[in-house]
Amino acid sequence: MIKLIAFDIDGTLNNSNHEISIKTKEVIMEAQRKGIIVVLASGRPESGLVDSARALDLKNNRGVLISYNGSKAIDLESGCEIYNEFLDIHDAKAVLEHMKKFNVKPMIYDGEYIVVNNVYDNYVNYNGGFNVIEFEARQGHYLLKEARDMTQYVDFPINKILTAGDPEYLEAHYKEMMEPFKDRLNCTFTARFYFEFMRKDINKGKALAKIAEFFGFERDEIAAFGDASNDIEMLEYAGHGVAMGNAFDSVKEVADYVTLSNDEDGIVHAFKNYLHII
């Protein structure tokens, strides 16, 4: 019997318009009425999950937020942190220094701000092109701040470093970007235009294991939905791992079930035809 379901947000819970469809919302609300706990597990910072959590009324349904790709988790009912694990400051500085060699846009989070090198250097060529800095700031309700040298700016604990770039460029250069850190950090794609750096032992799968322990659930009582590389460990941990139809091939390979895409109400399809929740 499924007791907990974890959802990635972008590319999974949200459709291409960055919205939860009416049908998807309906089935998730029905699952919660049946007592199933819903977890939002995202690469986004906590503030970037608030709107989705509110739309699904998670606070009144024992919901949990996993943010920063698994480095932080909050129990919404009590408001308490289940855990919060940071990137080492020396590693953060080393990553930011190394990123100066590449045509990417690093971003870090500092309180109510996203810190970038140049707010006007904001374009990525994805789906016709868009302002990626504005996108990241608005979805997380952040203000923007510039730093001439982000390596020098970072003197406080951070959960992750986000880099944005054209998908073709990232695909061609991500191995060089991660080379100095591949043995001591978790370096992963979270979207085709995002490549991120976190502590080595941080991922959504580890986070989901901590949540399972918190509630006292077994793996076969847990389902997880995802589409990107940073969802792989989560789908592997869950007893029922579901890849969206739009997922990376690497995600589909580890999934127990591949559903329809996020634009085809893939969550609804899996609820009916695989998990048999509705």
For residue 275, what pLDDT is reported? Answer: 97
For residue 33, what pLDDT is reported? Answer: 97
C-alpha span between 235 and 247 (Å, rounded): 12
Confidence of residue 246 (pLDDT cuts 50, 70, 90): very high
The residues near 57 (Cβ < 8 Å, ≥ 6 apart) are: 29, 32
> 173, 171, 195: which is closest to 185 by C-alpha?
195
For residue 37, what pLDDT is reported? Answer: 98
Whole-structure pTM value: 0.86
Sign of CA dihedral 179, 133, 121, 118: negative
For residue 201, what pLDDT is reported? Answer: 86
Per-residue pLDDT of 25-42, as tens digits, reads: 999 999 999 999 999 999
Which stretches of the chain are DSSP H helices? 22-33, 50-55, 89-99, 132-139, 150-153, 167-178, 204-215, 232-237, 249-254, 266-273
pLDDT score of 278 more than 90:
no
Other beta carbons less than 10 A from residue 222's beta carbon: 25
Per-residue pLDDT of 70-102, as tens digits, reads: 999 999 999 989 989 999 999 999 999 999 999
For residue 131, what pLDDT is reported? Answer: 98
For residue 191, what pLDDT is reported? Answer: 87
Per-residue pLDDT of 46-79, as tens digits, reads: 999 999 999 999 999 999 999 999 999 999 999 9
For residue 190, what pLDDT is reported? Answer: 87
For residue 111, what pLDDT is reported? Answer: 93
pLDDT score of 109 more than 90:
yes
Per-residue pLDDT of 154-208, as tens digits, reads: 999 999 999 999 999 999 999 999 999 999 999 999 889 999 999 998 999 999 9
Per-residue pLDDT of 115-151, as tens digits, reads: 999 999 999 999 899 999 999 999 899 999 999 999 9
For residue 54, what pLDDT is reported? Answer: 96
